[in-house]
Structure 1
Amino acid sequence: MRPFWVDLHVHTLLSPCGELEMGAPEIAEKAREAGLDIIGIADHNSCENFPGVSEAAKGNPVVLPCIETQSAEDIHILCVFPNYDTALAYKEWLWKRIRPIPNDVDTFGYQIVVDACNNIVKEEETLLIQGAGYEVDQIVAKVHEVGALAILAHVDRPAFSYPAALGPMPADYPADAFELSRRLNYEEAQKWRERYPAPRAFIRSSDSHSLDTLSRANCTKMTLAEPTFEEIRKALRGEEGRRISWPWG
């Protein structure tokens, strides 16, 4: 086993809040330059730019399909899938309760699906940054049902987080991990760890919407045997010697 640098929360130009520079080859190249071993493509309520980024990366870094799901309470859940077919099956379930609100490009930004060379595949017309008609508990349960990982996103933020919507998370909340944002310093992050001690797992992610935040300083170091979804699952659970290094040292 050895250390791997993992960032499971990277947006592309499919997310309306993502910069247009977040194309498939640009993300792959910047992640390599930053020394990242695994990245998760986690657009809002969608996963359709995973194939393009994965093909552009050619295995370096390893790319995992993810979806940053927005619940009915406006809580963001980082959903990490073992493969693209599973992600698509979950998305099909999710979109049964996505309202057909058209995206306003001038207000929210473009929502573009691209291939590995940044050729435009389509422009998503439905607004992606909206709450689906499922509560957070339903989403976490569904993610686990399909064999994926459910991580409560940026729990330290004053908006779009579990604490912002519902108050402090129960200590035994059935998420696989809590995510802290890159903005926290050591002292602030340590308070979260003290509030929710082991075996509760924490990760740090960049939540990148632009290339300049893709960095080892904004992600999580994990001890794994290989860069795979199953190894990450074991690390979150502290199984068989796999582990997460506390992102703040």
Structure 2
Amino acid sequence: MLKPFWVDLHIHTLLSPCGELEMGAPEIVEQARAAKLDVIGIADHNTCENFPGIYGAAAGSPVVLPCIETQSAEDIHILCVFPDYDTAFTYKEWLWQRIRPIPNDVEHFGYQIVVDANNEIVKEEETFLIQGAGYEVDQIVAKTKEMGGLAILAHVDRPAFSYPAALGPMPEDYPADAFELSCRLNHDEAQKWREQYPERAFIRSSDSHMLETLSRANCTKMMLEEPTFEEIKKAIRGEDGRRISWPWG
């Protein structure tokens, strides 16, 4: 029996230097519950180390998935979604083989803090996270899929940090699992993207850096049997009746 579930796969925490300090573990979970979100993806820049804290705070409600917003050598952002933390962390270790040891400038960029489920500080990440790794976008997409994850080209409508901004229009057969549109688009603007790529799966995400943007209005409704990674994968691929409800109605 398929039911509607509300899914937001692109949420930042206070580990991302661009994330507000209010984006702690209990706060994100409380806001997601208030917004009646069923699945949230924790997607900090080039890392996943705040996933355990959010996962622990949620205690199963909402479902929390480990994601990494990876920045390629071309400065393209790819939303990499994984079935479990071990897989995400293994990917992160591969990614960090080509992350440069650039120190974070706290005064200029902001703090990069890892917390536990109770917001106790575990550590402060010293390496600046918003930087291009030494892998091209094609390599990142291939590695993510090789590890059983979902590779989604992030905010393709944005004039920066997107595939079109760096390389031009996406090939129709590009091997990413889906394209993400930002929640700032209205229905007509989003529809133009759908018409340009009629065979592709699109999702909408909040790309939240602050609590107030976590809402059903900024995410994707999916028809699933249960709120799991495997069901979301089927919806993105249009398998077994699972599907994405076009986010703009």
The two structures share one fold, judged by TM-score above 0.5:
yes
Q: Secondary structure at the match of 2:78?
A: strand
Distance 2:245 2:227 in 1: 15
- Secondary structure at the aligned position of 2:221 is classed as strand
Identity of aligned residues (%): 84
Partner of 2:214: 214
Match of 2:225 in 1: 225
2:67 partner SS = strand
Query: Match for 1:220: what amino acid?
Result: T
Q: Which runs of 5+ in 1 are unaligned?
A: none
What is the Cα deviation at residue 62 of structure 1?
A: 0.2
Shift of 1:13: 0.1
Paired residues in the alignment total 248
Query: 1:105: how far off?
Result: 0.1
CA distance in 2, matches of 1:168, 1:196: 10
3-state DSSP of counterpart to 1:79 = strand
Deviations 1:119-155 (A, max 9, x none): 0000000000000000000000000111100000000
- Please report the TM-score for the alignment, with normalisation by the length of structure 2: 0.99
Q: Report the equivalent of 1:71.
A: 72
CA distance in 1 between counterparts of 2:94 and 2:56 reads 26
Distance in 2 (CA, whole Å) between partners of 1:19 and 1:58 is: 23
CA distance in 1, matches of 2:164, 2:155: 10
Distance in 1, Cα, partners of 2:204 & 2:61: 21
Q: Distance in 1 between matches of 2:185 and 2:144?
A: 27
Secondary structure in 2 matching 1:236: helix
Aligned to 1:238: 238
Structure 2: distance between partners of 1:242 and 1:187 = 25
1:91 Cα offset (Å): 0.3
Segments of 5+ residues of structure 2 without an aligned counterpart are none
Cα distance in structure 1, aligned partners of 2:158 and 2:209: 16
- 1:31 paired with 2:32, answer yes
Any idea what the Cα deviations from partners look like across 1:161-200, whole Å, max 9, x if unmatched? Answer: 00000000001100000000000000000000000003x1
| Distance of 2:50 and 2:183 partners within structure 1 | 23
SS of corresponding position for 1:90: helix
2:105 aligned with 1:104: yes
Output the TM-score relative to the length of structure 1.
0.99
2:7 aligns with 6
Amino acid at match of 2:60: G
**Corresponding letter in the other structure for 1:107:** H
SS state at 1:235 partner: helix
